[in-house]
């Protein structure tokens, strides 16, 4: 028999934990499911300097504080690799690879993951010079030389952002022209701090015992290998929403993201989506937390509407 809750939050990152906090504080029974440790990507963040209330805090410490707050009103947390969600109208069935759970409302907070280059040094120096978020980590590289990998909108926009702090930003792109929008390209080419390496295939991210020291790449035209000395490498070769378990619900757009309204509601009544899994521009801890609060209140209102309907039917 599936264990029953009012709300199941799939994903225990900052958005999911905030949704669980708001829903449980409204006296709803709440289960948070995550396939890893609560805190999400905060556990891989050395320092967080742009979360209100803290001048600086370690990512795992912020995750622990959020978890303590999320569970103070009775919300439960469990490991669970969700494989599917079935919509049965007033109830939803959540299947993991080990258990089944039933709830009146679902909050999807599974996030997104950056595509990896898959080169030596990328994993080893993650958080020590390798980053996928200029807004998160750019301030750590003031007056340093940096590399940006990629040629799309995100790569060039983030590269432009980095020029506010960095001494020099070099874009390494595997083609001979950018894929970014023309207006973004014009801004980049007009920026004295932006430099470009064309037709280059990144082969390795190099470093010492502590940090990144350079990027090794091969010129695709000549075959020659070069090393670009840099203090940080920002990688933008694509981002993928983690929405595979929800493909049969009819809530995904053509690219796999989940569109919602301003109340975080998807196309299916009783199913909400928050955080990086949504179709949006800015993916930050602060935005996820705000959306989590909205969704937490939203599920309360939704369940109240179900209860009101039942009262009317019985009458």
pLDDT digits (tens, 9 = 90+) for 264-305: 999 999 999 999 999 888 888 999 999 999 999 999 999 999
3-state secondary structure of 17: helix
Beta strands in 17-109 (DSSP E): 30-34, 76-79, 82-87, 92-96, 100-108
Q: Is the pLDDT of residue 203 over 90?
A: yes
pLDDT digits (tens, 9 = 90+) for 120-162: 999 999 989 999 988 889 999 999 999 999 999 889 989 999 9
> What are the residues whose beta carbons fall under 8 Å from the beta carbon of 304, sequence distance 6 or more?
none
Please give the residue that has the higher pLDDT: either 310 or 271: 271
Question: Domains of the chain, with CATH numbers?
Answer: 1-111+238-307 (3.50.50.60), 128-233 (3.50.50.60)
Give the chain's length: 315
Out of 6, 97, 99, 137, pick the active-site residue.
137
pTM to 2 decimals?
0.78
Question: Is 137 designated active site?
Answer: yes
Out of 34, 61, 68, 133, pick the active-site residue.
133
Out of 6, 34, 136, 276, pick the active-site residue.
136
Question: Is 192 designated active site?
Answer: no
pLDDT confidence band for 310 (50 / 70 / 90): low
Are the C-beta atoms of 168 and 145 separated by less than 8 Å?
Answer: yes
Are the C-beta atoms of 80 and 96 separated by less than 8 Å?
Answer: yes
Among residues 289, 302, 313, 267, the alpha carbon closest in space to that of 91 is found at: 302
At 247, list the tokens: 């493909």
pLDDT digits (tens, 9 = 90+) for 211-256: 999 999 999 999 999 999 999 999 999 889 999 999 999 999 999 9
């Amino acid at each position: 028999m599936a264990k029953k809750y009012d709300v199941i939050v799939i994903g225990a990152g900052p958005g999911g934990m905030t949704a669980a906090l708001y829903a449980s504080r409204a006296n709803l029974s709440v289960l948070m499911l995550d396939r890893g440790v609560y805190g999400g990507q905060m556990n891989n963040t050395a320092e967080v300097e742009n979360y209100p209330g803290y001048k600086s805090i370690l990512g795992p410490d912020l995750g622990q504080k959020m978890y303590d707050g999320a569970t103070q009103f009775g919300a439960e947390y469990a490991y669970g690799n969700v494989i599917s969600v079935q919509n049965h109208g007033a109830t939803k069935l959540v299947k993991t690879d080990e258990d089944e759970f039933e709830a009146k409302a679902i909050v999807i907070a599974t996030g997104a993951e950056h595509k990896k280059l898959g080169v030596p040094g990328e994993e080893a120096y993650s958080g020590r010079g390798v980053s996928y978020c200029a807004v998160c980590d750019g301030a750590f590289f003031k007056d340093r030389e940096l590399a940006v990998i990629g040629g799309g909108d995100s790569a060039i926009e983030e590269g432009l952002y980095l020029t506010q702090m960095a001494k020099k930003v070099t874009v390494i792109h595997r083609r001979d022209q950018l894929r970014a929008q023309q207006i973004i390209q014009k801004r980049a080419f007009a920026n004295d701090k932006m430099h470009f390496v064309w037709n280059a295939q990144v082969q390795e991210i190099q470093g010492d015992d502590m940090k990144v020291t350079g990027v090794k790449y091969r010129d695709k035209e000549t075959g020659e290998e070069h090393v670009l000395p840099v203090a940080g490498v920002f990688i933008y070769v694509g981002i993928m929403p983690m929405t595979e378990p929800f493909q049969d619900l009819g809530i995904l757009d053509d690219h796999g993201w989940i569109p919602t309204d301003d109340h975080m509601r998807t196309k299916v009544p009783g199913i909400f989506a928050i955080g990086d899994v949504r179709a949006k521009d800015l993916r930050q801890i602060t935005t996820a937390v705000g959306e989590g609060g909205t969704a937490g209140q939203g599920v309360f209102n939704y369940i109240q509407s179900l209860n009101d309907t039942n009262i009317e039917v019985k009458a």
